[in-house]
Amino acid sequence: MLVDTHSHLDFPEFEGEIDAIIKRAAQAGVTRIITIGTSVESSRRAVALAERHSSIFAAVGIHPGSAMEAEPDALDRLRELARSPRVVAIGETGLDYYRLPSSRTIHNRVEALANEDTADVQAAIEDGAVKSAQAAIFQGQLDLAAELRLNVVIHQRGDCLQDTLDLLAPFQGKLRAVFHCFGASPETAAMLISLGHLVSFTGIVTFKNAEIVQACAASVPDGSYMVETDCPYLAPVPHRGKRCEPAFTRQTAEKIAVLRNQTLERIAETTTAAAEGFFRFPLRG
Ligand SMILES: [Zn+2]
């Protein structure tokens, strides 16, 4: 039995199809699904889904991409939502330096060319504003997770691993994090695992050019990693490019079984045990 530890079932791509999606997942051996909030509204929908379906659990959080739009009372709203016994983590939260205003400026270089200097200075100022908004809402969610004794689902993209670790450091021993959609080196994975954190792998591990992720999935110890879809994104081969859904966790687990030279049953056992330890699913609720 597999757990899809990271899905976005509240996204419009799945509207009206949740029952069929749960059924297809169960047929593929994916019996538990965590749907992850990305904003207060998305978290509210995630909790509603988890309260309606026994195989769905929720994480509530504000994605770094939504940090600039977060209302001042966002953390209080998350705290209220986390009262539901169906909430098993805080997240996704973290830092994303991949799409900062300055990178957008580079994409719009042609327009910016006329007064490039001004554009660069302006972009640097905007980058700073975005980074500090992300850090503030991330820090707030770490405080909330520690207060509620929940673990944290981390989104980390772009050159921000050190900043992420600096923000996490004061919480060492109080909470654990999963670095979802992990794509860094086996050495980085080993370092995170030595701190008590987990990594998790999406369908990217099935992609032809994903050698680094594959090396990671082959080398991390049993119990230190989980599997996920991040659906509707990142469908594994042979569904690559199509809408992803929780059932496809199976193709990711199958690929990891090949990479690790273990049976699919063994992968299911160890990743499910890791998920149970990390999310501490309620028996009912
Ligand atoms: Zn996600």
Residue among 199, 210, 197 at smallest CA distance from 259: 210
Ligand 1 centroid distance, CA of 111 (Å): 32
Rounded to the nearest 10 degrees, what angle do helices 249-260 and 211-219 cross at? 70
Largest CA distance in the chain: 62
Ligand 1 centroid distance, CA of 63 (Å): 8
The answer to whether residues 252 and 203 touch, using CB atoms and an 8 Å cutoff, is yes
Ligand 1 centroid distance, CA of 91 (Å): 9
Helix (H) or strand (E) holding 215: helix 211-219
Q: Which residues, chain by chain, have CB under 5 Å from ion ligand 1?
A: 230
Ligand 1 centroid distance, CA of 78 (Å): 17
Ligand 1 centroid distance, CA of 95 (Å): 13
Ligand 1 centroid distance, CA of 8 (Å): 7
pTM (predicted TM-score)? 0.93
Per-residue pLDDT of the chain (285 residues; tens, 9 = 90+): 999 999 999 999 999 999 999 999 999 999 999 999 999 999 999 999 999 999 999 999 999 999 999 999 999 999 999 999 999 999 999 999 988 888 765 555 555 555 566 777 788 888 888 999 999 999 999 999 999 999 999 999 999 999 999 999 999 999 999 999 999 999 999 999 999 999 999 999 999 999 999 999 999 999 999 999 999 999 999 999 999 999 999 999 999 999 999 999 999 999 999 999 999 998 654
